[in-house]
Amino acid sequence: MRILMIGPDAESKGGIATVIANFKQYFQSTENEISYLATWKEGSLVTRMKATWQSIFQIRSRIRQENIDIVHVHMAQHGSFYRKALLILRAKKDCKVVLHMHASQFDVFYNESNKVTRKYIRYILSKADEVVVLSDEWAQFYNGLTSVPVRVIENAVAMPASNNYNSDAKNIVMFGRIGERKGSYDVLAVAKTMQQRFPDVRFYLYGDGELEKVAAQIEAEQLGNVILGGWIGAEDKEKILQQAVLHLLPSYHEGLPMAILETMAYGIPNLSTTVGGIPQAIQDGVNGMLMEAGDTKQLEAKLTAFLEDEAMREQYSKAAFATIQQRFAIPAYQQKWEQIYTQMK
């Protein structure tokens, strides 16, 4: 089987690019061969638009020249949906389509759209032969929009050889887009109190987004324990993970964040929220901590308890590492995709 995978360039920012990068690096098969077509590249507006239009114009010729059997489309909401919709309509004329949904707010996107757009969304979903989502909660949502089979395949990550977690580390890290959806301002809301209780602990916010607004609030409130680290590459991330005691992601909307799985794979416990597919990876009080989105009192209490209890940190670390090893490692993930591709013959 020949598969053409469609989505952002593997070197781009974001969780979907990370998923595609993992496919490129780790997917090995005697039955299936994957090639790639980028619909998005980092850079200027011209660079981004060029990648999008080239993918639209090239897709049918790529399908025919490479004898593609299945187009595997990675989709999110807003612009990602509209770009991929055009590609799905062009691809469907020549081969089968598996639609891989990563959107963290597709429900909001759908519900806030007008009637015509909602009809178009349902129409595009109906063009897929399979829809793959990241959690049972999202499967229930998409089953309400389409009669196409919906299957759950959780994200996966590569595993380090061993768990080298340092429970005495003092850095709490956040990875991803900085802004309201990720709960960045909730972190700022508790930072001053945490600074008084744990003066040697630092919050490092890595990513792009509302940097100027967050930086202004950090300066105005004199939050010396919050540092904006910018967007980082894979090599820098590994060094950062070696010095992290906790990964914090108090998000309001999510699919199943790659940042959570990546940090758990390094044995780093997580404190996150009960949204999207997060509870499928994090069990509160077992391998990490969960809280209700927006509850800053709960956020403060859980952070305090975690930082005061070394035995808790060690327990969560061992359990987090084991969770990824048993349920979210690359080999099992590849096997699930092999099954989907084979069944779509």
pLDDT tens for 227-286 read 999 888 777 888 999 999 999 999 999 988 999 999 999 999 999 999 988 999 999 999
Which is it for strands 96-101 and 130-133: parallel, antiparallel or unpaired? parallel
pLDDT (0 to 100) of residue 148: 97
* Mean pLDDT of the region 312-323: 98
Q: Mean pLDDT over residues 97-108, rounded?
A: 95
Q: Where are the domains of the chain?
A: 2-156+329-343, 171-327
d(CA 202, CA 199): 8
Using the Cα atoms of residue 203, residue 206, residue 208 and residue 211 in order, give the sign of their dihedral.
Answer: positive
Interval 137-146 mean pLDDT: 95
Residue 32 has pLDDT above 80, yes or no: yes
Within 10 Å of residue 138's Cβ, how many Cβ atoms?
A: 25
CATH code, residues 171-327: 3.40.50.2000
The CA-atom distances, in angstroms, between 93 and each of 6, 84, 344 are: 16, 15, 16
Q: Which residue has tokens 């699930």?
A: 336
- Bridge partners of 202? 171
- Does residue 15 carry a pLDDT above 90? no
**Per-residue model confidence as pLDDT tens digits over 42-67:** 889 899 899 999 999 999 999 999 99
- H-helix or E-strand containing 335? helix 330-343
- What local confidence, expressed as pLDDT, does residue 197 receive? 96
Looking at domain 2-156+329-343, what is its CATH homologous superfamily? Glycogen Phosphorylase B; (3.40.50.2000)
The pLDDT tens digits for 157-177 are: 988 989 999 999 999 999 988
What is the reported pLDDT for 176? 87
Q: In terms of Cα–Cα distance, which of 294, 314, 290, 313 is closest to 302?
A: 290
Name the residue with tokens 């799905």.
88
- Predicted confidence at residue 155, as pLDDT, reads 92
**Domain 2-156+329-343 and domain 171-327 have a common topology:** yes
